[in-house]
Structure 1
């Protein structure tokens, strides 16, 4: 998971979302609202294609899932499930891009809350996942920094899916190599090649690994976190390299 910026929808789409929400709100019972929401959402002639188009632009890498960061995002997930809160079915702030596995196999209609009813899952367009999750880079596993982080680990199976854990370990090795290649290309004055290395690095699956590397290099315990990898830490702390990788405007 990485921090994402939610963008504005076209005005026409916003208007249609409001109309559908009014239809749902017009039902007299909660059961009727759930049924109406499900029926409207199932209609593929609604705004779903327009929502998907914007979500894919917001997603990390090449349309990666906003939860696991590995697989292609193909589904529109309702952060607060429509079966639980039908009035948020067409709420743009409630939509995230997910892969079919995270959406249908892992999250489904799960929505853990704390004792006061606040959501425990992290919406990466509202909260920075780095505040709730720490990636142990050599192991490819997450450690919770908060109850929200633990809920994400449990609900999305972030540590129980071997393909994700192994993928992060491999992504860490690939990212280290990319940093070295960037330094070599830059030292040779090959600016175009250096920019290409940056672009490819961020477009790969599991970009959360690269985010974690730069974040942890600034930690007070960075020397311990990167024990035995002094060369990697030096690259991550290189001001020129940091600017090249982190200034992607």
Structure 2
């Protein structure tokens, strides 16, 4: 994951979401708000709904390549995902900041699974077991790294030398480490061979693109052609691989030489 870019959205979209949210918030009890959140979102999240047409367009602009999932960065995103689940946080069911575009293989297993970090530093699941009373979740820091509001690179580093797994960046026992481990687990970022192989392939593709840029630049290519090469690189899938290559290039001598030849690439 990478931190998702800011995108301008029309005020009409935000006003429409706020109107929908007021319907949910007007319910008398928490249980009623949860039920209303689910029914209202199902009714509103339609391709024919102009508010959600704008929501989907804005979420698409945040994605890389051909609308890649904002969690795994590999599969095509086709679901409006609630980062904080609507089953637990009905007050955020129509919160624009609580949305991202995700793929089914990421969204479905995550579902309403969620956890918080308590005041004592313990990670506590807050998802509601089937048949349990519909009561509000306990408070605490949300455990899942939120790429809308946080930079996942502050919590995770990607091993681009060997395993191509995401690894917690913080010291063992810290809240940041617990959040990193939880995020990787709940999204199965290291448990799907297809994702690991996709990152490995992306590493080679990014390296080849950078080599091509250097070759064309040194050969006197026009600025327009170089800009197209840069744009192509920046629109590739698995942008977390590129972000880690820029951060950790010294660990891979063959790509370090490329960045030495093209230091401007560190700003792409």
Using the size of structure 1 for normalisation, the TM-score is 0.89
Q: What secondary structure sits across from 1:113 in the alignment?
A: strand
Deviations 1:163-189 (A, max 9, x none): 000111111111111111111000011
1:245 to partner: Cα distance: 6.1
1:209 aligns with 2:245: no
1:153 to partner: Cα distance: 0.9
**In the alignment, what sits opposite 1:141?**
165
The count of residues paired between Structure 1 and Structure 2 equals 235
Aligned partners of 1:214, 1:143: CA distance in 2, in Å? 17
Q: What secondary structure sits across from 1:4 in the alignment?
A: coil
1:169 aligns with 2:200: yes
Q: What secondary structure sits across from 2:72 in the alignment?
A: coil
Among residues 47, 54, 60, which one is paired with 1:50 in the alignment? 54
| The 10-residue stretch of structure 1 (91-100 or 186-195) with the greater mean CA deviation from structure 2 | 186-195
1:114 aligns with 2:81: no
Using the size of structure 2 for normalisation, the TM-score is 0.83
Q: Is the 8 A contact 1:56 1:63 kept in 2?
A: yes
**In the alignment, what sits opposite 2:98?**
94
**In the alignment, what sits opposite 2:72?**
68
Aligned partners of 2:195, 2:85: CA distance in 1, in Å? 24
Q: What secondary structure sits across from 2:116 in the alignment?
A: coil
**In the alignment, what sits opposite 1:84?**
88
**In the alignment, what sits opposite 2:27?**
27
Q: What secondary structure sits across from 1:212 in the alignment?
A: helix
Q: Is the 8 A contact 2:259 2:265 kept in 1?
A: no
Deviations 1:75-124 (A, max 9, x none): 111111000010100011111111111111x3111122111311111111
Aligned partners of 1:237, 1:56: CA distance in 2, in Å? 34
Aligned residue runs from structure 1 range 181-192, under 5 A? 181-190=212-221, 191-192=223-224
**In the alignment, what sits opposite 2:191?**
160
Q: What secondary structure sits across from 2:158 in the alignment?
A: strand
Gaps of 5+ in 2: 120-139, 170-176
Q: What secondary structure sits across from 2:12 in the alignment?
A: helix
Q: Is the 8 A contact 2:159 2:165 kept in 1?
A: yes
Aligned partners of 1:160, 1:198: CA distance in 2, in Å? 32
Aligned residue runs from structure 1 range 9-24, under 5 A? 9-24=9-24
User: Which 4+ stretches in 1 moved above 4 angstroms?
Assistant: none
Q: What secondary structure sits across from 2:142 in the alignment?
A: coil
Aligned partners of 1:231, 1:153: CA distance in 2, in Å? 28
Q: Is the 8 A contact 1:213 1:236 kept in 2?
A: no
1:131 aligns with 2:154: yes
Gaps of 5+ in 1: none
**In the alignment, what sits opposite 1:40?**
40
Q: Is the 8 A contact 2:59 2:101 kept in 1?
A: yes
1:244 to partner: Cα distance: 4.6
Q: Is the 8 A contact 1:65 1:99 kept in 2?
A: yes
1:194 to partner: Cα distance: 2.6
Aligned partners of 1:86, 1:6: CA distance in 2, in Å? 24
Q: What secondary structure sits across from 1:143 in the alignment?
A: strand
Q: Is the 8 A contact 2:259 2:266 kept in 1?
A: no
